[in-house]
Amino acid sequence: MLSGIGPSEHLMDHGIKVLLDQPMVGQGLSDNPMNLVLIPSRKRVEISLIEVVGITRFGSFIESASTHINLSLLQKVGSKFGLFANQTTSVDTIKSIIGHRFNLDLSGLNAGLILEKAMGPLSSGSLELVTENPDDNPKVTFNYFNDPRDLQTCVAGLETIIKVLESKPLSEFRDPLLSVQDLFALVVALPLNLRPRHPNAPFDLEQYCKDTVLTIWHYHGGCQVDRVVDHNYKVIGVDALRVIDNSSKFPWNKSSNHYDDARKITNVHASVVNANDLT
């Protein structure tokens, strides 16, 4: 867009000379919605990243990690979030849920994380310029759960996580007096995003998905094949320009880890370009 390729009206609004009116630039932007459950542990857990992924038949990816959470830092972050969203995030809220079981202080909390993320997704949004300065962030809208099928996938993923929470292997770490609703209420109390919280979120899986949705940094689209670029990733209507990254994904690509796909595609097409000495 900054180079003059994109929706002409939007470019002219920012004083950018239009070289090619291409209304699909910036459209079809998606991000895999992620929701998690936090499991406080009396036992010390190692700090670990995601190592194993469970792939369901219904399109939800189940992953786990473990961490140490600094509650005083969360309180500071939560106070900032409160300026922008209708949230009641506070350490007092967190301690009211689990403090009587763990005798928490502000130094921190050992916990496991189990998360689910929707494949695809089917919901999509757009990217728009805010200024013509390339150092300024654009305006990005992902429209999480705009397609109800993504919401159904989230609910099914959380139902799978609940089964894991109630399994025997987790009993070694999970306090039996903390119900699933307690664990959900704990996440609702955390400053995860700028969305308002609803009182029924710990008891309503659809509302929980909406209120606590997060990014897992797999955003993609906005310059898609057959819409902006052709199957050789050349920009349609431009002689010597290719776009080969996570923005130029096939619309039907339903992968979860889009960066792995982008790396493979980039390596292949870099070889083609080098072999033919072409742009």
Q: Taking the CB of residue 70, how many other CB atoms lie within 10 A of it?
A: 14
- List phi, psi (to 5°) of 231: -75, -10
Q: How far is CA 257 from CA 28, 154, 190, 193, 254, in A?
A: 17, 17, 26, 22, 9
C-beta separation of 71 from 91 below 8 A: yes
C-beta separation of 8 from 21 below 8 A: yes
Sequence-ordered list of residues with C-beta below 8 angstroms from that of 11, at least 6 positions apart, any chain: 1, 4, 17, 18, 129
Residue 10 is a catalytic residue: no
Catalytically annotated residue among 14, 100, 218, 231:
218
Please state, in angstroms and rounded to a whole number, the distance separating the CA atoms of residues 274 and 70: 49
C-beta separation of 126 from 26 below 8 A: yes
* Residue positions annotated with a catalytic role: 218
